[in-house]
Structure 1
Amino acid sequence: MGRAVRTLFVAGCVVLWLIPLYLLVVNALTPAAEYAGRPGWTVQGFDLWQNVRTAWDAAGIGDSFQASLLYAAVCGLVAVLVAAMAAFAVVVLPIPRPAFWFWLIYSGTLFPLQMFLAPLFGLYADAGLYDTRIGLMLVYAAWAVPFAFFLVRNQLTTMSPELTEAALIDGASFGRIFWRIHVPLMKAGLGAAFVFQFTAVWNDLLLGITLSRSPDVQPVMAALTTLNNAYASTGPPVILAGALIVSVPTLLLFLMFRGLFLRGITASTR
């Protein structure tokens, strides 16, 4: 009985998730000139490529798409690397008060992002980083470190300390131990952390609209809001086509690395 209830619950969640996706795809196919003014449940035509072309070229979402790809890939990699080093220091290195350092780094996930926006905006404006790619990359990398640190640190705590002790006896330095022993063993956890941080940076809207305004600097989610305002007269099909484009990279990333992602989550939650 309990298993049937769980199955029914999961099936209901899947249906609730698929309904908006179905409406997104169906209405993105509709020619903008033939849109009836409300979401349609059946395909009324096929003009997806024209809608995509309008969103990509005429609305300028292509520049923001490339910028977001840069932010998500580079900042995700940098954040995971920094988080791995910090986790190694907290778990493996003989530093004083490791619990203090853990909570200091992890506290970055505990405070709402909105409380940092005003001072961050003022700092960026004074430093000349406002509306620059390097400025957004700095804040995205720093923002992504705490949660990646949490995932990687959890996996590191499951590793036997005898590995480090044996390597030290053999004369290996801590740097060599990190790169040659722990990084290969943490591959699944690092991959899961990267998928999480790539998705988080890609889906960000708040920092994007606060710290940028130029089309070639703005992340893609901020560009979607501009698309919504500029092309409201053409109807939702163009906007929905833009949303469909935006959803592709994270979907492909998860499908490509789903095995590594699941192994990493399992290793990080033991």
Structure 2
Amino acid sequence: MIKVKKLYHSYTKDENYAVKDISFEVKRGEIFGFLGPSGAGKSTTQKILIGLLELQKGQVNINGHDIKTPKDELFNIIGVSFEAPNVYKKLSGLENLNFYKKMFSVKTQDSMELLRMVGLEEAAHKKAGGYSKGMLQRLVFARSMINNPKIWFLDEPTAGLDPNTTSDIKKIIKKKNDEGTTIFLTTHNMYIAEELCDRVAFINEGEIELIDSPRNLKLKYGKKLIKVEYKEERKLKKESFSMIKDTDKEKLNGLINTGKIETMHSQEATLEEIFINVTGRGLK
């Protein structure tokens, strides 16, 4: 669906690269996460993929289209939700969507239904200039679905949203993916990536460090430990047991048989911990 080979980009047109020699493929129907801190090259890569930045060096193919010579057909099948809301402030939310849908030559979704999906139905006739940051974010997200995209580019889709709205946005993303939409998700939010993505790419200082599924990464970098909380003589105790050592396994089984255990968790690594392990820096 998306093929990128040896991609470079320099904003200064020299060897100071924001993106350097990156290659990856996104399979049809998967959610592919581009995970990295601010300034790592995530948004630069996405802007090249959607045609907002010139392809300077390398190859980019989107569903059979060479991004160097894009055709209208390509833009009819992609949707983009930008991190920075870019809407017409003097138009209402509904007017923004109705104006935008005229740009496509394919069947579009009902504007009011999209606003209803993201919780903006009551603000549909209010000028976007009076929207809060979170409302603007939801409006841009709704707009990105208007042409029923086959390939959906999402740049920090839950940034600045409250937990309830974030939950609703994640449900929409999962539903669209279940319907066959291929999703390219750029984020520094490890929890969103871990929950939604089939595979993730770690990008750091313009270079891809690794690509794999969250599960495989956690199995590779996680500790094979079980953390247990249990009561003994009316006191709460915490202990970690190796899943490899026979002595630890025997002791854990003994605790399980006594029925004293109150909580038990595997000590798998988070994507942020893995990112720090691989790159030596955090995701902020």
TM superposition score normalised by structure 2? 0.25
Q: Which has the higher helix share?
A: 1
TM superposition score normalised by structure 1? 0.26
**Greater relative contact order (Cα < 8 A, sep 6+):** 1
